[in-house]
Structure formats: C-alpha cells, structure tokens
C-alpha cells in the first residue's frame, strides 16, 4: 500500500544550510547578543558617573586628600567611553581597540584595587579603588564580561575578526579540515 501523503520534496533551489559543528547553540548566541547591548548601555552610564565624580573631586571639592584618585577616575571614565565606541562600531579595528581598552581597564581595576588596600592614603577614592566597591564592583567584572563577549566567536564574526586566529585565547586548537564529505 502506498502512502497517500508522501513527504514534501525539497525544491532543488532551496537554500539548505548546514550549521558548522562548532556553531554556538541559538540560545547562547541570543544571550551573547543581549550581553553586547547591556554592555553598550552600561558602559556610558559608568563613564558618566565616574567622570562626573572625578571632575567634582578634582575641581569642586574643598580639600581632596590626593589628586591621584580623582585623576584615575577621570582616566577610567575616558576608557569607559572609548570602550563604548568599541562595542557600538562593528569594525575589525574597533574590536582590537575594545580588547586593548578592556584589558587595560581590568588591569587598572586589579592593580589600583590592590594598591587601595596597601596604600589607601595615596590612592584615595577612585572608580577602581577597592576593586570598584563604590560602584558595585562594576569596574572589576564589567571589563571581564566585555572581554568574554568580544571573544565570543559569533561576536568576532560580526566584527570581521577570524576566531581561528585566536586559538590559545579562545581555548581551542586549530583543527585540520575534514577530508571526507558526509553528504551523499
């Protein structure tokens, strides 16, 4: 007996795409995309808050303990603002600039955070002081999240950066191309 409802045939000109084996699951790609938007919005807010605070402490506060803390806050604000441009502009050069800025920000939060406990009078109050405790530790974990997002392979593709050129950073080794074709 023949089937009265045979399966529909796929047209010859249909665009059938096979996902690569290392493609991210759609839910993770959606999460990474949302993370990029959150970083693109939260970075200017952090730049505004640290910049205004630093300028106020430098120029309008009666007697700052030290000018180093407010100066570091203004520097951090400038880096946050520049990193925002790295999140918004989807070009290869912007990706490289963004990675460099985020590495510097993370290093600044770690170094200044440690120094704020060792020599608190010298460091004073800054965005990176005590690992960003005055800002809910955003200056510490936000650059780390930004780096994770920028090194996410779908994000790298959006910026025109080849993830295969960064195997050690991304945690995978180069694979040899498959020599057999699994299609019939």
Please tell me what DSSP assigns to residue 9: P
Cβ-contact 155, 30 below 8 angstroms: no
- Say yes or no to pLDDT of 18 above 50: no
Q: Model confidence at 15, in pLDDT bands (50, 70, 90)?
A: very low
| pLDDT cut 70: percent of the chain above it | 70
pLDDT tens track for 33-83:
777 788 888 999 999 999 999 999 888 887 666 778 889 999 999 999 999
C-alpha–C-alpha distance, residues 155 and 36, integer Å:
9
- Say which residues have a Cβ less than 8 Å from residue 93's Cβ, sequence separation at least 6: none
C-alpha–C-alpha distance, residues 178 and 48, integer Å:
50
User: Domain extents for the chain?
Assistant: 32-163
- Say yes or no to pLDDT of 17 above 50: no
């Amino acid at each position: 007996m023949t089937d009265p409802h045979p399966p529909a045939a796929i047209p010859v000109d249909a665009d059938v795409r096979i996902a690569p084996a290392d493609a991210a699951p759609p839910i993770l790609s959606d999460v990474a995309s949302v993370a990029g938007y959150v970083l693109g919005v939260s970075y200017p807010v952090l730049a505004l808050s640290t910049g205004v605070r630093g300028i106020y402490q430098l120029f309008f506060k009666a007697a700052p303990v030290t000018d180093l803390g407010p100066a570091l806050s203004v520097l951090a604000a400038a880096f946050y603002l520049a990193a925002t441009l790295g999140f918004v502009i989807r070009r290869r050069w912007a990706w490289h600039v963004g990675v460099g800025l985020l590495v510097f920000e993370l290093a600044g939060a770690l170094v200044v955070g440690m120094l704020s406990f060792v020599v608190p009078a010298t460091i004073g109050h800054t965005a990176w002081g005590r690992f960003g405790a005055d800002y809910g530790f955003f200056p510490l974990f936000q650059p780390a999240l930004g780096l994770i997002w920028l090194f996410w392979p779908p994000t790298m593709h959006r910026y025109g950066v080849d993830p295969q050129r960064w195997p050690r950073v991304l945690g995978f080794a180069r694979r040899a191309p498959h020599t057999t074709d699994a299609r019939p």
